[in-house]
Amino acid sequence: MSDLKQFRLPDVGEGLTEAEIVSWKVQPGDPIKVNDVLVEIETAKSLVELPSPFAGTVADLLVAEGDTVLVGAPIIAVETGTGAVAAAAGEAEPDAGTTEPAPSSEPASPAAGGRQAVLVGYGPLTTSGKRRARKQAGSSSGGAAAVSHEALNQAFATAPEEPDPDVPAGDDVEDAVSATPEEAVPATPAAPAPADGNRPLAKPPVRKLAKDLGVDLAEVTPTGPQGVITRSDVEAFAGGGAEAAPVSAPERTYGAPAERETRVPVKGVRKMTAQAMVGSAFSAPHVTEWVTLDATRTMRFVDRLRVHREFTGVKVSPLLVAAKAVCLAVRRTPEVNATWDEQAQEIVLKRYVNLGIAAATPRGLVVPNVKDADQLSLRELAGALGELTATAREGKAQPADMAGGSFTITNVGVFGVDAGTPILNPGESAILCMGAIRRQPWVHAGKVKPRWVTTLAVSFDHRVVDGAQGSQFLADVAAILEDPGAALLH
C-alpha cells in the first residue's frame, strides 16, 4: 500500500515568504529516508538545505531549479507506504502474513502552544504556489498548490520517463531543452495553442527566432512538454506549416540590442538588498558626518597584536579596533544603537550591541552580525568577526546570523575607497563607514611627517540621533583609533 505525499516549502526562519530553488539533491525514482537532504534553497540572505520529513521514493519534482517559490507551495512529491519505505531502507517488502507494522511516514506533530512549527513543509498556504505556475495547454489558472493526489497520479501515469523541464517565462536564459525531432514526438496528440488569449508558452530564444522569421507564435502548434513551443515547431511552421511573412534583415552595424545587453533577473540577495535599501533611504532621514584622523598608533597596535600569542590563529586588522571602538562609544551615545518604532511611536534603546559587518560575497551584499559583541573580549571579538565573515563569503550564513542587528560597520577601505555615505541597515539608527588607511603627509608634533591616515563616516537616522549625539559618537570612535589607549577611558 503506497501513499503520495507532498512536501511544501517551509518557513526556515525570520518571516521567510519565498525562496529560490538552487539545486535538487534527489531525482524521481530515488529512494529517500527521513532527514535525507532533498534540495538546496536560497532565501533572502543565505543558502539552506531542506531535509525530508518522509521516507519513501521520490515521485516527482514539482518545481525546477531556478524557480522562485512561495512558502507553503508543494515542491516535491514522495511515494510513501510499506513498499516505498522498505525500498528506501534497502529491505525486501514484507510478506503478506507479516504482522509487523509499517514504519510511520508522518512527521512529528508541532509542540503545543506558541507558533506552529513548519520545519517539514506544513502550515497554512495563504497564496498560490509558484510565482510562475506551469499550466497545461487549455487549462485554467490552477497552480501547483491546487494539484490533487488524483491529478498527480494521472500525471505520473502519462508523463514521459524524463522529468518535464520547467518553463521560466520571461527569464533571459538559454534554451536548455533540445528540440524534439519529429520521429521522437509521442503518439499522444500535440497540445493546441492556448485559445483563451494567454501568451503562447515559449522560451526567449524561441521567441526571438519566431520574430526573426516573422512567425506568429499564436498560430504554431506546440509539441513540447506542457504545451511549450520549441525551436523545431517554429522552424517547421516557417518552412512549410504555413506561409510566413517575409522579413527583411535589419542592418546590424553594431549588433542587435539583445547581443549588446545582458539581463540579470532581480532575485535572491539582490532583490532583498534593493527592497531594504529603498525602504531605508526613503523612510529614515539620513545625515552623514565625516572625520579624518591619524591612525598610526592603531596600525602599530595591530602589528603588536598579530605577533601576540593570545591572537595566534585569528585575523587581526584595523577593523577589529574599529569594532571594539564602536562597542565602547555606544555606551556614551546609546541613541546610535536604537530602533525607531513607527507604529508605537517609540525609540527602542538597546542594552546590547549586535554588531553587523557588511560583507561582499559572490551572491551579493550580506550583513551578518556578532551577537552581544559588547560583551566579548578583544580576542573573542577577533575570532567571532573572522568566523562570521568567512561563513558569509562561503554563502553558508543562516537567516539567524543576519537577524537582530543593532549597529553596522561597512569597510570600503578594503577596496581602496577613502569614504562614503552609507545607507542605514533597516531597523537600525546608525552605520559607520571605514575608509582606506593610507600613508599621507600629516602634521605631527609640529612637523609634517608621513602618517597612516584614514577617514570615518557615520550616517544616522535624524529622528533618533541629534547632530550633537552623532558628532559625539564619531569623535569617540575616532579618539580610540587615534590612540587605542583611550579605550581605557570608556
Is 462 a known active-site residue? yes
Those residues whose C-beta lies under 8 Å from the C-beta of residue 467, and which sit 6 or more positions away, are 287, 289
Residues 94, 86: Cα–Cα separation, whole Å: 8
Q: Which of 149, 308, 444, 462 is catalytic?
A: 462
What residues contact 479, with CB distance under 8 A and at least 6 apart?
A: 486
User: Is residue 21 within 8 Å of residue 66, measured between CB atoms?
Assistant: yes
Task: Give the three-class secondary structure for 471.
Answer: helix
The DSSP symbol for 137 reads: T
Give the integer Cα–Cα distance in Å for 171 and 228: 15
From the CB of residue 117, how many other CB atoms can be counted at a distance below 10 Å?
15
- Asked whether the beta carbons of 479 and 326 are under 8 A apart, the reply is no
Q: How far is CA 276 from CA 76, 246, 281, 343, 365, in A?
A: 31, 49, 9, 18, 12
Question: Angle at CA 25, nearest 5°, toward 21 and 29?
Answer: 115
What is the spatial distance between Cα 406 and Cα 425, in angstroms, rounded to a whole number? 9
> Is-contact 374 487, C-beta < 8 A?
no
Contact 231, 206 (CB under 8 A): yes
CA gap 143, 73 in Å, rounded: 9
When computed from its CA atoms, the radius of gyration of the chain, rounded to whole angstroms, is 29
The C-alpha atoms of residue 355 and residue 385 are separated, in whole angstroms, by 9
Catalytic residues: 462
